[in-house]
Amino acid sequence: MELEIKKFLFDIRESIDSIENYLADKRDFKVYLSDKMLRRAVEREFEIIGEAMSRIERIDSTIEISSKKQIISMRNRVIHGYDKIDDEIIWGTIARHLPTLKLEIEELLK
């Protein structure tokens, strides 16, 4: 695997770890909604994940990550549609898709 791709995979893993750390004792949607700084921090990490994924895709589109296109699309929505971010979608992504992405990234980094 190309060194540059590994760097982007590390960036994704670091952002996932950051999201998990931000939410450590706040795994409650109502708490998430009421904390603007927390929401913005999580959104920023999703921007980084999506940008890193986009760069991986440009270098080697054969890298197997399930939801690759959705991750890139989410990044674009967060950046360009900042005024229309759906907090429920972000929260659902954290709960349902982030654990899978983390496992896939860990596997690719082995």
pLDDT at position 25 over 90? no
Which of 19-28, 30-39, 51-60 has the least mean pLDDT? 19-28
CA dist 51 and 57 (Å) reads: 10
Q: Which of 13, 39, 55, 75 is catalytic?
A: 75
75 is catalytic: yes
Max intra-chain CA distance, the chain: 42
Which tokens go with 53?
């994924």
| 3-class secondary structure, 81 | coil
Element holding 49 (H helix, E strand): helix 36-59
More confident residue, 52 or 78: 52
What mean pLDDT comes out for the span 52-58?
Answer: 95
Q: In the prediction, which pLDDT does 81 show?
A: 75
Q: Which of 27, 80, 96, 97 is catalytic?
A: 80
Which of 4-8, 36-40, 57-61, 79-83 has the least mean pLDDT? 79-83
pTM higher than 0.95: no
Tally of structural domains, the chain: 1
**Domain of 34, in residue numbers:** 3-109
